[in-house]
């Protein structure tokens, strides 16, 4: 179908992969608990939009640059790691209680949450290399539809990850209502989420092109 093979297996694999926690999961949980349900949802949509970017890279072979160029890989890897560490330090050093109640921030920057979600996903070269290796397995070698099968597979992953990530953000926001009753929890979650981001950034920095 449209140059795609084993589509059912692809859907199953995408569901399993979406359920595996990682950097994006931590980011979405942090936004949902620290800010609001809307912020978490926009962050989730941003992360999922990053999947479309990686799909585009895989479809047009741009990810091959990351695979074959150590310099390019290290540049993207360093940018992603620095971004995560920056978010971690900013969270740890924050003197404000990041847990807000409904209506406290009428001008909450949802666009910023979305953009941060996109950046956190796109600036992870391991994700780019994963899609480069993963998607072609489900595209017929005799494909005559050009980039169409990649687009379909990418949109499928977007929808699956989107449903999971948005559900995750809603669940986290519901939990945050109980957590917000503890006035000191806001500062505690800042330290915890900040530390996790720094650890994730360091781990990303250790990533190797053949890892």
> 131 pLDDT band (50/70/90 cuts)?
confident
Domain ranges within the chain, ordered by starting residue: 23-96+108-205
In this prediction, residue 116 has a pLDDT band, given cuts at 50, 70 and 90, of confident
Arithmetic mean of pLDDT over the chain: 75
State the Cα–Cα distance between residues 139 and 109, nearest whole angstrom: 39
For the chain, how far is it from start to end, CA to CA, in angstroms?
32
Residue 108, pLDDT above cutoff 60: no
194 φ, ψ (degrees, to nearest 5)? -60, -45
State pTM to two decimals. 0.65
């Amino acid at each position: 179908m449209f140059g795609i093979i084993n589509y059912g297996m692809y859907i199953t694999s995408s569901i399993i992969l979406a359920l595996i926690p990682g950097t994006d999961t931590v980011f979405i949980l942090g936004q949902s608990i620290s800010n609001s349900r809307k912020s978490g949802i926009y962050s989730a949509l941003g992360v999922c939009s990053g999947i479309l970017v990686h799909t585009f890279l895989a479809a047009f072979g741009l990810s091959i640059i990351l695979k074959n160029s150590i310099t390019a890989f290290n540049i993207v890897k360093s940018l992603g790691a620095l971004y995560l560490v920056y978010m971690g330090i900013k969270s740890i050093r924050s003197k404000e209680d990041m847990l807000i109640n409904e209506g406290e921030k009428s001008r909450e920057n949802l666009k910023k949450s979305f953009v941060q979600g996109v950046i956190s996903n796109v600036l992870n070269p391991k994700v780019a290399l994963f899609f480069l290796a993963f998607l072609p397995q489900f595209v017929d070698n005799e494909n005559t539809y050009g980039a169409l099968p990649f687009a379909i597979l990418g949109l499928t992953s977007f929808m699956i990850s989107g449903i999971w990530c948005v559900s995750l953000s809603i669940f986290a926001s519901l939990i945050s209502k109980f957590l917000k009753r503890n006035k000191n929890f806001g500062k505690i979650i800042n330290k915890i989420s900040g530390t996790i981001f720094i650890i994730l950034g360091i781990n990303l920095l250790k990533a190797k092109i053949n890892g």
